[in-house]
A and B are shown apart, each in its own frame.
Chain A
Amino acid sequence: MMLKLLIQPFLTHKYLLFQLTQRSIKARYKQSIIGYAWVLINPLAQLLVYTFVFSVIFKFPTNNIPYPVFLFAGLLPWIYLQNVLITATSSLIDNSDLIRKVYFPREILPYSVVLSKTIDFFFALSLLLIFMLAYQIPIGITILYIFPLFLIQIILMSGLSLIFSTFNLFYRDIQYLVPLLLLLWTYITPVVYALSLVPKTYVAIYKLNPMVGIIEGYRSALFNLPFDTGTIYWSFIFSVFVFLSGFIFFKKSEKVFADIV
């Protein structure tokens, strides 16, 4: 029953999902000089500044991995998460005209955000590949492990998107709260620094953050380091829980969307 509810929109409204995703990607390069390249410029600019601050000024240890590559492995999925959550939070409000007039499964709207940002993410990943080649980092078979990790991240982001977008429909405070949460979340996630820098006493609590397992997992896969399997399992369980509760919450609230938007 629930599984059917979950999967059906992908069958019946596949083309709408595709169109909405295409809309947000196309709209970005209309009447813009740099257009789609912004997807690459944004992480590159952040990379430049972070590299200066954390490898020239602070000299963070990174297991002998060149800092720019180490950073990119965490920064790209992190920017991806930020983009998804900020855009998805307002996705229902941005389409209030549609919600008021036409029926379609509403979760298509946040899903289309996840999908369009995923395409951006894949483009940005080409930067990582270039950096790895430039720094002559061997690319092994373990790199394939990024796909299951990526799946965990998608589940987590979709769940949070469903929750935030619904709350934002009731109270607009959420769209101001989410960027703040993301800012704080960045500092308790090993994006710009390595997990090894976190004091032993705090590590157990620190690893409760579901993004720790995912980001560290990406690094293990890319640089052929040992996997922290326990933390990754935790991220998976946590993400599935967030998604399922988000989905149920979304579906229960969906009926009143048109009345309150």
Chain B
Amino acid sequence: MDNPVIIFEKVNKNFYIQEEKTFKEFLPNLFLGKPWAKKVAALDDVSFKIFQGETVGIIGKNGAGKSTALKLIAGVTTPTTGKVIITGKVAPLIELGAGFHHELTGYENIFLNAAILGMHKKEIELKLDDIINFSELKDFIYAPVKKYSSGMYMRLAFSIAINTNAPLLLIDEVLAVGDEGFQKKCINYLQEVKKSGEKTIIFVSHSEQLVKDFCEKVILLDQGKMIAEGKPSEVFERYHHILKQDEENSKL
């Protein structure tokens, strides 16, 4: 439990949002020396450590920097300043079918998607039955995924992600899509994984109940800053406080 798998050290991440898109607007601004893009700090001096086998929830309002934090963990982007150190392979749960090709069958997509998540052919073949069984899509596995409902999509994506050999699992809100039965099954499965301590799970959700049930540690982000880190009940208290303040501010 004492070796950190994710370390954020004073991480800052700035985005530049381009406003002038057309050349006609862009050119005069260039001559006038106006900045060509607006700076937005998505993460502002964030430091934390996540240890092997932990289940950590990241909460916050929309735009608080949750997705940016996940992106940094997944390694698709780099911090503007500061350090992000990740040990081990990461399996992000890809947005609904982003890694799928609509015309291909569920079966073909398993191989495609698992390859995207860094698996080799033999590893996938070994896990194939587990993936199909868990997704409950046995009867539809040779149908093109464009015929799938969004719930079926999610089930397949989820089954693939949890069956990768990656020790780090990122779950970004997607659980909300499946029906209640499957959702429960996923939670149960994740509980099992959690007990075994093999995987470190990062969980982003707006559902307080899910996070409280499931995570032993919660990180609260607000406007790019880390406000709190600790036990779910305590952190949620802070979160409710922030939400209440916002409500009062908007009334004024």
Contacts and interface: CB of A to CB of B under 8 A. Distances in A.
Interface of A: 13, 15-16, 18-20, 22-23, 26-27, 30-31, 97-104, 255-259
B19 to A, nearest CB: 14
A16 B115 contact: yes
A101 B119 contact: no
Given A15-B121, A16-B118, A103-B75, 17 more contacts: A13-B118, A19-B116, A23-B108, A26-B103, A30-B104, A97-B99, A98-B98, A98-B99, A99-B76, A100-B71, A101-B92, A101-B94, A102-B76, A102-B99, A103-B90, A257-B76, A258-B76
B117 A102 contact: yes
A101 B104 contact: no
Interface residues of B, number: 27
Q: Give 10 nearest A-B pairs by CB, closest first.
A: A97-B98, A103-B75, A30-B103, A19-B115, A258-B76, A258-B77, A16-B115, A27-B103, A19-B112, A101-B94
A172 to B, nearest CB: 10
Contacts of A30: 103-104, 144
Contacts of A18: 115
A101 B91 CA distance: 10
B111 interface: yes
B60 to A, nearest CB: 19
Interface of B: 15, 71, 74-78, 90, 92, 94-95, 98-99, 101, 103-104, 108, 111-112, 115-121, 144
A22 B112 CA distance: 9
Nearest to B102: A27
A15 B119 contact: yes
A12 to B, nearest CB: 8
A22 B105 CA distance: 13
A257 B74 CA distance: 14
A20 B108 CA distance: 11
Contact of B98 (A13, A20, A31, A101): A101
Contacts of A99: 76
A204 to B, nearest CB: 37
Nearest to B70: A101
A19 B111 contact: yes
A27 B101 CA distance: 8
Contacts of A259: 15, 77
A97 to B, nearest CB: 3
A246 to B, nearest CB: 22
A165 B142 CA distance: 33
A108 to B, nearest CB: 10
Contact of B94 (A16, A20, A97): A97
5 contacts: A15-B120, A16-B115, A97-B98, A101-B76, A257-B76
A104 B112 contact: no
A60 to B, nearest CB: 42
Contacts of B120: 15
A27 B99 contact: no
B110 to A, nearest CB: 10
A104 B99 contact: no
Nearest to B73: A103
